[in-house]
């Protein structure tokens, strides 16, 4: 009896938790399938309506913005490019840096270590104005490079790779050295295949990080051609038209699907470095 | 550290060069500029800057609006950390207990991790809009809720939006922490203690301490920095600046107000706060998370 009681409690707590997460999403989705007049007069809807294709088609293909040059599909493409660029670049850069920190001992090693990890103290939000200044001096505003480069030296990713490399037994390098592997060969033939899960996890982590950037694209992109998801959000404003709900659903779709389908890799990678 | 290592200078520099180059240009240069801004004042006509010592800092710290933002940020951090940690922990403990449907629950609970704070903010905005917002009407029915005018109602609005997003991150880490606890310890405790409630608080929870500490730090940084997107899409500081966090205020003063000196000084004050947090974090990660 008490065992069944406990199981019931467990499941009902979890179901409440799931509802807490799902209900807002459901309301947004259901509302995104109604006509503007329904949303305007009655607010959010619980039931799915009949305007699904019309609304999503309108959001994806209607030209908007100040000069009517941008569509939401282009916005999502821009965000994807930004996220993909940040993820790819920061995985490569951090992995190389972590390799250099863990597997090389020279007199500058600890200087490099501190030079990189001190940057954890200064997230982008704390240096946003001067960063903007520098990027605009370099003529990188309104470009993918300007969106991607400043965010692709992640001390956190370097930290995770460093922890992971440190957990690899010393014998691996000893054996590699016996086989005559130099530092290049060791990196490419030994570490790279061994770090697959970690690479995947950091890629996912940085992709979500890049896709969800707010402040940087907001101040960086004055030209509509380079708008990302956040600018679209800024243009939405408060109010009650159905395609706004469609836009929200579309803007969370990419990172959410990535986390759902790649959760195993993501979680394995994050926690294997403990 | 490794016992065996390579000692070639050239290869070491080659591998670390990309990261150093990026942080030099996009981190160190802006930081130097921030310090320059913080210790100088632009003259009224915009022709030049002159050294001002700590004037900008004194100006910032004696501004009652700054004190308001500081107070709000502290409350914000405590509330978000408390609620998202406890709900995340509760769900993780239950998810760790179930035998059937574990991975389904996991999937259904972790996806909000991937949503941008700004998207959460815009969504919350619809729930709290004055005319037809579901939560607005719900709270309004209870006590005349009105976040446009009432400070505490505005607090509730941003607290709900910001905590909701953070529950799943806490859930992921607590669940991983629970799965790392050795089965034999839990089984041994079953023999000694019948009450599962007491067993949790005396055995499981202390073993989860490293995860909890780590998550407290994560939640503090989240409430400090990442919530800028939430504030900017929900209250924008309503009723009149009481829901501005320190980071949001620095952004507004710098970008909208173009007061570089004040923004620079605010950034440096926040760097000091983050320094304290990070020292704590490093001591913890290096010290505690390594036990096996």
| CB pair distance less than 8 Å for A104 and B8 | yes
Task: Tell which residue, A180, A152, A161, A156, has the closest CA to residue A103.
Answer: A161
Chain A residues with CB-CB distance to B84 below 8 A: none
Cβ(A25)–Cβ(B109) below 8 Å: no
pLDDT, position A42: 79
B251 touches chain A (CB under 8 A): yes
Residue B288 has pLDDT above 70, yes or no: no
Q: Which residue has the higher pLDDT, A217 or B9?
A: A217
B115 touches chain A (CB under 8 A): yes
Nearest-neighbour CA in chain B from A202: distance (Å):
14
Nearest-neighbour CA in chain A from B94: distance (Å):
5
Closest Cα in chain B to A247 = B119
| CB pair distance less than 8 Å for A97 and B16 | yes
Rounded average pLDDT over B17-24? 92
**Number of Cβ pairs closer than 8 Å across A and B?**
267
Q: Kindly report, residue by residue over A150-167, the tens digit of the pLDDT.
A: 999 888 899 889 988 988
| CB pair distance less than 8 Å for A183 and B119 | no
pLDDT, position B281: 67
pLDDT, position B3: 65
Q: Kindly report, residue by residue over B272-281, the tens digit of the pLDDT.
A: 888 887 777 6
Q: Which residue has the higher pLDDT, B25 or A63?
A: B25
A48 touches chain B (CB under 8 A): no
All residues at 6 or more sequence positions from B102 whose CB lies less than 8 Å from its CB, including other chains: B95
Percent of chain A with pLDDT over 90: 26
All residues at 6 or more sequence positions from A181 whose CB lies less than 8 Å from its CB, including other chains: A189, A190
Cβ(A189)–Cβ(A123) below 8 Å: no
List, as ranges, residues 53-82 from A with C-beta within 8 Å of B: none
Homologous superfamily, domain B55-98+108-287: MetI-like (1.10.3720.10)
pLDDT, position A167: 86
Quote the CA–CA distance of A190 and A13 in Å, as a whole number: 45
Nearest-neighbour CA in chain A from B146: distance (Å):
16
Nearest-neighbour CA in chain A from B289: distance (Å):
7
Rounded average pLDDT over A119-123? 82
Task: Tell which residue, A212, A245, A238, has the closest CA to residue A24.
Answer: A245
Quote the CA–CA distance of A246 and A242 in Å, as a whole number: 7
CA A120 from chain center: how many Å?
Answer: 18
The pLDDT-based confidence of A237 (bands split at 50, 70, 90) is: low
pLDDT, position B133: 84
Residue A1 has pLDDT above 60, yes or no: no
List, as ranges, residues 35-94 from B with C-beta within 8 Å of A: 37, 87, 90-91, 94
**A41 burial via Cβ count (<10 Å: 0-12, 13-18, 19+):** exposed
What's phi and psi for B49, nearest 5 deg? Answer: -120, 145
pLDDT, position B290: 43
pTM of the entire structure?
0.90
Minimum-distance CB partner of B26 among A6, A131, A258: A131
Q: Which residue has the higher pLDDT, B287 or A180?
A: A180
CB neighbourhood size of A192 (10 A): 13
Best A3, A7, A12, A14 member to test B by mutation, with max B CBs in 10 Å, is A14
Calculate the average pLDDT of chain B. Answer: 85
Quote the CA–CA distance of B24 and B33 in Å, as a whole number: 12
Rounded average pLDDT over B228-251? 87
Q: Kindly report, residue by residue over B168-214, the tens digit of the pLDDT.
A: 999 999 998 888 888 888 788 878 777 778 888 888 888 888 788 88
pLDDT, position B1: 58
The pLDDT-based confidence of B291 (bands split at 50, 70, 90) is: very low
Minimum-distance CB partner of B91 among A17, A214, A271: A17
Q: Which residue has the higher pLDDT, B245 or B191?
A: B245
Best A6, A17, A31 member to test B by mutation, with max B CBs in 10 Å, is A17
Quote the CA–CA distance of A270 and A268 in Å, as a whole number: 6
CB neighbourhood size of B101 (10 A): 12
Quote the CA–CA distance of B109 and B103 in Å, as a whole number: 10
Q: Which residue has the higher pLDDT, A83 or B132?
A: A83
pLDDT, position A98: 92
Rounded average pLDDT over B62-85? 91
B176 touches chain A (CB under 8 A): yes
Residue A36 has pLDDT above 70, yes or no: yes
Chain B residues with CB-CB distance to A122 below 8 A: 27, 31, 271, 274
ipTM: 0.87
All residues at 6 or more sequence positions from A16 whose CB lies less than 8 Å from its CB, including other chains: none
A256 touches chain B (CB under 8 A): yes
List the structure tokens of A128. 């946003």
A261 touches chain B (CB under 8 A): no
pLDDT, position B12: 85
Cβ(B34)–Cβ(B267) below 8 Å: yes
């Amino acid at each position: 009896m008490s065992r069944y009681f406990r199981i019931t409690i467990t499941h009902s707590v979890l179901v409440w938790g799931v509802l807490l997460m799902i209900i807002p999403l459901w309301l947004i989705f259901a509302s995104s399938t109604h006509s503007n007049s329904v949303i305007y007069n009655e607010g959010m809807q619980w039931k799915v309506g009949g305007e699904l294709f019309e609304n999503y088609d309108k959001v994806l293909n209607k030209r908007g913005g100040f000069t009517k040059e941008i569509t939401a599909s282009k916005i999502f493409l821009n965000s994807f490019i930004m996220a993909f660029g940040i993820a790819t670049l920061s995985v490569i850069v951090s992995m190389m840096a972590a390799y250099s920190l863990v597997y090389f001992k020279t007199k500058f090693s600890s200087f490099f270590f501190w030079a990189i990890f001190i940057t954890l103290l200064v997230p982008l939000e704390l240096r946003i104005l001067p960063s903007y200044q520098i990027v605009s001096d370099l003529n990188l505003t309104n470009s993918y490079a300007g969106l991607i480069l400043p965010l692709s030296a992640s001390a956190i990713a370097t930290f995770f790779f460093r922890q992971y490399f440190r957990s690899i037994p010393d014998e691996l390098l000893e054996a590699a050295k016996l086989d005559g592997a130099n530092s290049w060969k060791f990196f490419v033939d030994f570490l790279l295949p061994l770090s697959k899960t970690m690479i995947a996890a950091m890629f996912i982590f940085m992709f979500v990080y890049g896709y969800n950037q707010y402040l940087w694209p907001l101040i960086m992109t004055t030209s509509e051609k380079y708008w990302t998801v956040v600018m679209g959000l800024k243009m939405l404003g408060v109010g009650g038209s159905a395609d706004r709900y469609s836009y929200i659903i579309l803007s969370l779709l990419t990172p959410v699907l990535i986390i759902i389908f790649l959760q195993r890799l993501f979680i394995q990678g994050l926690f294997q470095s403990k | 550290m490794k016992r065996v290592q390579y000692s070639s200078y050239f290869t070491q520099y080659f591998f670390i060069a990309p990261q150093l180059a990026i942080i030099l240009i996009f981190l160190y240069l802006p930081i130097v500029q921030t310090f320059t801004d913080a210790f100088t004042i632009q003259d009224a006509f915009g022709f030049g800057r002159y050294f001002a010592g700590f004037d900008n800092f004194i100006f910032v710290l004696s501004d009652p609006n700054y004190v308001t933002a500081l107070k709000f940020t502290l409350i914000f951090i405590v509330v978000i950390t408390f609620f998202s940690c406890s709900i995340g922990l509760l769900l993780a403990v239950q998810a760790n207990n179930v035998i059937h449907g574990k991975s389904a629950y996991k999937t259904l609970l972790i996806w909000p991790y991937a949503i941008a704070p700004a998207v959460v903010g815009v969504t919350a905005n619809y729930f709290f809009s004055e005319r037809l917002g579901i939560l607005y009407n719900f709270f309004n029915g209870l006590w005349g809720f009105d976040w446009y005018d009432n400070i505490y109602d505005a607090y509730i609005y941003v607290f709900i939006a910001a905590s909701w997003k953070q529950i799943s991150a806490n859930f992921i880490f607590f669940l991983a922490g629970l799965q790392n606890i050795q089965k034999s310890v839990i089984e041994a405790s079953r023999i000694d203690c019948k009450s599962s409630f007491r067993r949790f608080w005396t055995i499981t929870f202390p073993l989860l301490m490293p995860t909890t500490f780590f998550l407290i730090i994560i939640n503090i940084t989240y409430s400090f920095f990442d919530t800028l997107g939430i504030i900017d899409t929900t209250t924008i500081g309503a009723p009149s600046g009481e829901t501005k966090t320190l980071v949001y205020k620095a952004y507004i003063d710098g970008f909208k107000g173009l007061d570089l000196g004040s923004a620079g000084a605010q950034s440096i004050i926040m760097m000091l706060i983050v320094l304290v947090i990070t020292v704590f974090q490093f001591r913890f990660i290096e010290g505690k998370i390594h036990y096996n």
